[in-house]
Chains A and B, each alone.
Chain A
């Protein structure tokens, strides 16, 4: 079975500090894509960052970066200089290449950024 596990249901961080959200996944496939989505209280699902499994280099998007460890099947998200607007539910997900674009999601981590 293909699964995604986010072991931290809730986390909090002080504004301007750094926080890391954990994600592990399980698949026997070799070609896939990994994503982090953010869901603020507005409910909108917003793509934060995307990683192609065949790329060894970790993806970065401004204050957001990932630590992708393919052998360990780990895909953590680091948020630097946390801002109040980062308060949201964060979902880790992956998509197997050539399987219809279906996303398999983790349970989510609710992040609170405190002033």
Chain B
């Protein structure tokens, strides 16, 4: 089984719809992250969390919200999807300073 699991893997949604992307991890780490990947821009940080009560905005948080339901679960929501949120979204977890980040398989989201 994968260390970090994202659902769904692919999703097409309409403009204005609410959508949630889910992430769970079995590494036992406290730190979890959501990144967005766009061609030519690399990955950019949306939100990150150190525990269920500690959530922080990243570089590009506008239009997104998150929920840390448990140590192992971290979901990303788009309250009202717009076409420029079409991207590949990654969830990740790390064990501490300078350690390897483990990524999920990514969610390809298309907003039409």
Contact = CB atoms under 8 A, between A and B. Distances in A.
* A joins B in a complex: yes
Interface of A: 4, 6, 9, 33, 35, 42-45, 47, 50, 52, 91, 93, 95, 97-98, 100-108
Contacts of A98: 97
Interface of B: 31, 33, 35, 40-45, 48, 50, 56, 58, 88, 90, 92, 94, 96-101, 103, 105-106, 108
Q: Helix, strand, loop or mixed for chain B's interface? A: strand
Contacts of A102: 33, 45, 48, 58
A98 B96 CA distance: 9
A43 B33 CA distance: 17
A33 B96 CA distance: 12
Contacts of B97: 33, 95, 97-98, 101
Instruction: List the 10 closest A-B pairs by CB distance, nearest first.
Output: A45-B103, A105-B42, A33-B98, A101-B94, A105-B43, A43-B106, A107-B42, A101-B31, A47-B100, A106-B42
A52 B100 CA distance: 12
B98 A97 contact: yes
B105 A43 contact: yes
Contacts of A52: 98
B44 A105 contact: yes
Nearest to A43: B106
Contacts of A101: 31, 33, 48, 94, 96-97, 99, 101
A70 to B, nearest CB: 15
A50 B85 CA distance: 31
Given A44-B105, A45-B90, A45-B103, A100 B40 contact: no
Most B-side CB within 10 Å, residue of A6, A9, A42, A102 = A102
Contacts of A95: 97-98
Contacts of B31: 100-101
Given A33-B97, A98-B97, 13 more contacts: A9-B40, A44-B105, A45-B90, A45-B92, A45-B101, A47-B100, A50-B100, A97-B98, A100-B50, A100-B56, A102-B58, A103-B45, A107-B41
8 contacts: A4-B42, A6-B42, A47-B100, A50-B100, A102-B33, A103-B35, A105-B42, A105-B43
